[in-house]
């Protein structure tokens, strides 16, 4: 089992950047595919990005491709999401997730663990 705690959210102007962190405790994060989802008020939760256990493979939602970067440091049991060129539509609660799957997943139901979320607010 793994516990996930997100940090790094906040208020930023459009065009700005943030870096979200997800600290994993319990079982080593290297045993999991890791990812990020987000949910804005009144909208469905959506996939943002995911990274393989090794960190060699990544996948992004089309809406964030080229602007967001997911990475991981297995020695620190931490996953990161670098958010650049932020837009007002990126505002949401961002959730860190972990899956026991061998492969990258993009559906919320395919992840076994998730954190409490961190709020990202983007002002226009």
Q: Is the pLDDT of residue 29 over 80?
A: no
Per-residue confidence (pLDDT) for residue 27, from 0 to 100: 78
Mean pLDDT value across the chain: 96
d(CA 20, CA 9): 6
Per-residue confidence (pLDDT) for residue 26, from 0 to 100: 85
pLDDT digits (tens, 9 = 90+) for 70-104: 999 999 999 999 999 999 999 999 999 999 999 99
Q: Is the pLDDT of residue 61 over 80?
A: yes
From the list 121, 108, 124, 112, the residue with the least C-alpha distance to 48 is 108
List of residues 6+ apart from 55 with CB closer than 8 A? 71, 72, 74
52 band by pLDDT with thresholds 50, 70 and 90: very high
28 band by pLDDT with thresholds 50, 70 and 90: confident
């Amino acid at each position: 089992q793994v516990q996930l705690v997100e940090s790094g959210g906040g208020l930023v102007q459009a065009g700005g950047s943030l870096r979200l962190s997800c600290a994993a405790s319990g079982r080593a994060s290297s045993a999991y595919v890791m990812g990020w989802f987000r949910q804005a008020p009144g909208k469905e939760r959506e996939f943002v990005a995911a990274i393989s256990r090794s960190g060699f493979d990544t996948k992004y939602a089309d809406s964030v491709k080229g602007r967001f970067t997911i990475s991981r440091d297995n020695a620190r049991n931490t996953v990161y999401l670098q958010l650049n060129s932020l837009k007002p539509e990126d505002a949401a609660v961002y959730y860190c997730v972990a899956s026991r799957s061998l492969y990258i997943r993009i559906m919320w139901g395919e992840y076994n663990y998730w954190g409490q979320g961190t709020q990202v607010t983007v002002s226009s």
